[in-house]
Amino acid sequence: MPLALATSLPALLPQAIAWASAREAEILASGIALTDAELDLARRVGVQAPERIRLALVERVPMPDDPMLQLAVETTELLGANTLGLTLGYGIYLCQGARDARLVSHECRHVQQYEAAGGIAAFLPLYLQQIVRHGYLDAPYEVDARRHEIDA
Ligand SMILES: [Zn+2]
């Protein structure tokens, strides 16, 4: 992890939270609800309010406009060309064609993490701090989400 990124991350938090909140609002306004089978997956990974979740099926998960924030998410490999899903509160971006039980249960576990933390403004500082400290793959929230993946 580049030191500059680790030290600049706290300064980027307000932009990150604003971006995530705006994207969540868009997904909640125009996204689709989970199927009955997906609602069941969400409950099985501990989501308290699965009926609030909306999916946005996209060609690519959008990147932040802010250049520093964009650099940060690319450098940490938090977001990139290979990203298939991204959860922002109750809003989930899924790449078209990638919607399966494993990915939906993984992203729903992130919804559970947002719920447990108390929303976007509470979750993102913890999550980004984990990524700075452990790297994206070994961040405890990612390890937890992978442990809760359900194949069918
Ligand atoms: Zn994840």
Q: Tell me how far the alpha carbon of residue 149 lies from the centroid of ligand 1, in angstroms.
A: 10
Q: Tell me how far the alpha carbon of residue 109 lies from the centroid of ligand 1, in angstroms.
A: 8
Strand order across the beta sheet in which 91-95 lies: 32-33, 54-58, 91-95, 85-88
Question: Are 13 and 132 in contact, with CB atoms under 8 Å apart?
Answer: no
Which tokens hold the place of 61?
């998960």
Cα 21 from Cα 2, distance rounded (Å) = 27
- State the pLDDT at residue 73: 87
pLDDT tens by residue, 40-71: 999 999 999 999 999 999 999 999 989 988 88
- State the pLDDT at residue 20: 96
Question: Are 111 and 47 in contact, with CB atoms under 8 Å apart?
Answer: yes
Domain boundaries, the chain: 3-147
- State the pLDDT at residue 152: 75
Question: Are 127 and 141 in contact, with CB atoms under 8 Å apart?
Answer: yes
Q: Tell me how far the alpha carbon of residue 106 lies from the centroid of ligand 1, in angstroms.
A: 6
How many other β-carbons are positioned within 10 Å of the β-carbon of residue 64? 21
Q: Tell me how far the alpha carbon of residue 139 lies from the centroid of ligand 1, in angstroms.
A: 9
- pLDDT grade for 2, boundaries at 50, 70 and 90: low
Q: Tell me how far the alpha carbon of residue 7 lies from the centroid of ligand 1, in angstroms.
A: 23
- State the pLDDT at residue 10: 75
Q: Tell me how far the alpha carbon of residue 30 lies from the centroid of ligand 1, in angstroms.
A: 23
pLDDT tens by residue, 6-50: 667 778 899 999 999 999 999 999 999 999 999 999 999 999 999
Query: What's at 94, amino acid-wise?
Result: L
Which tokens hold the place of 42?
């969400």
Burial of 36 (0-12, 13-18, 19+ CB in 10 A): exposed
Q: Tell me how far the alpha carbon of residue 84 lies from the centroid of ligand 1, in angstroms.
A: 10
How many other β-carbons are positioned within 10 Å of the β-carbon of residue 66? 15
Q: Tell me how far the alpha carbon of residue 107 lies from the centroid of ligand 1, in angstroms.
A: 6
